Amino acid sequence: MGKKIVNGVYPTMLTPFKEDLTIDYEALERLIEWYIGRGIDGLFAVCQSSAMFELSRKERKDLCARTVEISGGRYPVMASGHVSDILEEQARDLNDMAEAGADALVLVSNRLAAPWESDEIWLGNLEKLMKMLPGDIPLGFYECPYPYKRLLSDQVISELIKMGRFEFVKDTCCSPTMIARRARLAGGTGLKLFNANGATLLYSLREGYAGYSGIMTNFHADLYHRLCSDWKGMGERADELQDYLGSASTIECQFYPANARYSLMKEGVMTNLICRRQDARLRRMTDSEKLEIDQFYAVSQRMSARFAD
């Protein structure tokens, strides 16, 4: 067994690339140290932000192994890499992550059934897949929006709890009503819910969620750490910080992940905007988009100073 999944902030890690599109492991080390310096509690590697759908099988495994190596046991490392269509290949995806040293394996909810197929088919495929995975490593689920978003139903969440193997759900529902219902289902169990949506974060923490795991950790992870670690002690300032995080999270809709790479260039972490994703390779960030991130970055720096521990 590796490190335990604890409450808090788990960045959805980016993958730095060199000019020739190979993985830049020197920049990866800088990125991990940048996350750690901003108070994160664990790492979510080989996820969609990591370009897992654009990496080869070997690259996914190597990326996980290097993340574990650089982390050096300081923080739990969760990894997905769950991209294949056929169950046997999905088992290879996840077993690669286990062999690379991940502390938990994160399954993607849309891999187990087509959009039109029922929860019963989904659960049947999950049962088959679990028989092909190590029995001694914690599991999680990620409601990845690509290639389609499949939210976990109440029935499915209840079944995951009964199985006793699942300790992590990255929730992308973005719905206060659903968040409250899920919190009631998971309350007092071993299943921890992590919100990926900045606008509903404080609400979800008050309902009993364990923390945050989302895109915005690649812009200002320290502010998410501040809210997740001390929202009870902050009083009205928690609502003030939430107001900023919620409004700031709309930058996700601009030109992600290129805009996050641009922001991290200001931190001396990234050296370029290169990404494997097709949309980021077909066009460049515009001058207007860069100016928006310049201003966004400046405000975030002021907020970091204002809400420093």
How would residue 3 be classed by pLDDT, with cut points 50, 70 and 90? confident
pLDDT score at 98: 98
CB count within 10 Å of CB 40 equals 25
Q: What is the pLDDT of residues 139-161, one digit of tens each?
A: 999 999 999 999 999 999 999 99
For CA atoms 209, 214, 220, 221, the dihedral sign is positive
Cβ-based neighbours of 269, under 8 Å, separated by 6 or more: 16, 27, 30, 31, 34
In single-letter form, the type of residue at position 55 comes to L
How would residue 100 be classed by pLDDT, with cut points 50, 70 and 90? very high
Whether the per-residue pLDDT at 1 is higher than 60: the answer is no
State residue 66 phi and psi, 5-degree precision.
-70, -35
Q: What is the mean pLDDT of residues 73-97?
A: 97
User: Token pair for residue 212?
Assistant: 């945050």
* Residue 46 · residue 8 · CB < 8 Å: no
| Domain boundaries along the sequence of the chain | 8-306
Closest Cα to residue 91, out of 110, 78, 77, 105? 105
For residue 47, give the DSSP letter. S
* Residue 191 · residue 169 · CB < 8 Å: yes
**Architecture of the domain spanning 8-306:** Alpha-Beta Barrel (3.20)
* Residue 290 · residue 262 · CB < 8 Å: yes
* Residue 276 · residue 22 · CB < 8 Å: no
Between the CA of residue 75 and those of 5, 18, 190, 234, what are the distances in Å? 9, 26, 19, 25
Whether the per-residue pLDDT at 54 is higher than 60: the answer is yes
